[in-house]
Amino acid sequence: MSLPRPQIADFVAADGASAASTHFRLWLVAWVVVTLLLTGGSLIVGTSSIETSLSWLFSPDAQSSVVLWQIRLPRTVGAWFAGALLGLAGGIAQGVFRNPLAEPYLLGTASGAALGVTLSLIAADTAIGGLAWTGQLGLTGAACIGACAAILLTIMLSRGVLETAGLLLSGIVIAFLMSALTSLLLLTRPEMWRVMQVFLLGSTGFIGWSSATLLCVVFCICLLPAMLFARGLDALTLGDDTAQSLGLSLPSLRLTLLGVVTLATAAAVGQIGIVGFVGLVAPHLVRQTLVVTHRQLLIGAPLCGGALLQAADLLSRWVIRPAELPVGAVTACIGGVYLVVLLWRRNRDA
């Protein structure tokens, strides 16, 4: 079958597409520059004035070397990967649910991770000494298992992944139930509140090289299926029926991508606790500045998410020096203000 040949010589759509592609490349370069600047800033800024000086940082002093290579660099790198994972998960969640308000914690993953950590702490006899015995990997593992359990329960409750509205409702129900259970457990063990507070508000202060490496590996693992299914997410924007008619298997697409969201969220939450707004705001930052396909969105959202968390980490160390703010509180402030501006602009344009 063939349609009549067009009368015009050049395909103007292709010209427009190449212009959009150049625009996207420039946008990527700009965000890479922002990330490098933030990385430089994060390496320089410490919680006291002496540790913030460049001369001290690059002095032959053994202490400054440890601060730079063993504390600040892994923390900065790890924060970027954690933010990138949340940005990626947010971009995927918004695509799967065709909802710009979707975020990585939507299916109860955050509440599940919190419950997992609480149970792990109780199992380790709740004491701070017990924490050392359990080790960071134990808490990370518990957070991951909790997040996975939450998403499995959500899928079971919604009887599959075909009904997105059912999935969202089930996710909300499971999140409430798990939060309630966590609160009940914490009521019985008030001494655990302080440890849980760090987890619930989020902190990048515990990221070492092992955490940063783990986050990097998980990011690479998640990026591959995200890229493979990105065109499927484009098709999904036209509706379930149309996507299916194009040859897409909706159960495979949704299950795979929800698996990616779970893995990315569980890894990030396991390392830095529950940091809100990054997964919600990062995809919006991309969409506000570019007309993108999901392939471009899923490259751009991690870049924005990583830079956002680095910026929040930097601010958390800077604002009330020598003390530190919880990074989750900073991202909530940045993200909240950004969404208010977005809403104001939308109302103004309407």
Partner 1 sequence: MRDPAEGGSAAPSGSAPPRTEPARRADVASAPLSCRDVSIRYGTHTVLQGVSLEVHAGRWTAIVGPNGSGKSSLLRALAGLAAPRLGTIFLRGRPLAAWPRRERARQLAWLAQASTATELTAAEVVRLGRFAHGGWLAHRESDDDAAIQRAMVATGSLAWAQRRVTTLSGGERQRVYLARVLAVEAPVLLLDEPTTHLDPPHQEDVARLLRQQAHGCGVCVVSAIHDLSLALSADRLIVLGAQRVIGHGSVTEALAGDWLSTAFRTRVDIVEHTGAHLWRPALEPSAYD
CB of 203 to partner 1, least distance (A): 35
d(CA 189, CA 182): 11
Sign of CA dihedral 222, 227, 229, 234: positive
> Looking up tokens 């504390």, which residue turns up?
71
Q: Which ranges of the chain does DSSP label H, i.e. alpha helix? A: 12-44, 54-57, 62-66, 73-96, 109-123, 128-157, 164-188, 193-201, 209-228, 230-236, 240-245, 250-272, 278-289, 294-318, 327-349
d(CA 229, CA 53): 46
Q: Considering beta carbons, is residue 113 or 230 the nearer one to partner 1?
A: 230
CB of 77 to partner 1, least distance (A): 29
Q: Considering beta carbons, is residue 5 or 194 the nearer one to partner 1?
A: 5
CB of 256 to partner 1, least distance (A): 11
d(CA 346, CA 350): 6
CB of 231 to partner 1, least distance (A): 5
d(CA 263, CA 276): 17
CB of 283 to partner 1, least distance (A): 11
Cα end-to-end span (Å), the chain: 44
Q: Considering beta carbons, is residue 49 or 288 the nearer one to partner 1?
A: 288
Q: Which two tokens stand for residue 101?
A: 């308000």
Q: What residue ranges bind partner 1 (CB under 8 A)?
A: 1-8, 11-14, 16-17, 19-20, 98, 227-229, 231, 234-235, 237-239, 241-242, 244-249, 287, 291-293
Residue 290 backbone phi and psi in degrees, to 5: -140, 155
Q: Considering beta carbons, is residue 223 or 327 the nearer one to partner 1?
A: 223
Q: Considering beta carbons, is residue 172 or 248 the nearer one to partner 1?
A: 248
Number of residues written out for the chain:
350
Q: Considering beta carbons, is residue 20 or 28 the nearer one to partner 1?
A: 20
Residue 342 backbone phi and psi in degrees, to 5: -60, -45
Helix, strand, coil % in the chain, rounded to nearest 5: 80, 0, 20
Q: What is the DSSP string of 32-59?
A: HHHHHHHHHHHHH--SSTGGG-HHHHTS
CB of 107 to partner 1, least distance (A): 22
CB of 93 to partner 1, least distance (A): 16
Q: Considering beta carbons, is residue 99 or 210 the nearer one to partner 1?
A: 99
d(CA 188, CA 49): 42
Q: Considering beta carbons, is residue 234 or 324 the nearer one to partner 1?
A: 234
CB of 84 to partner 1, least distance (A): 22
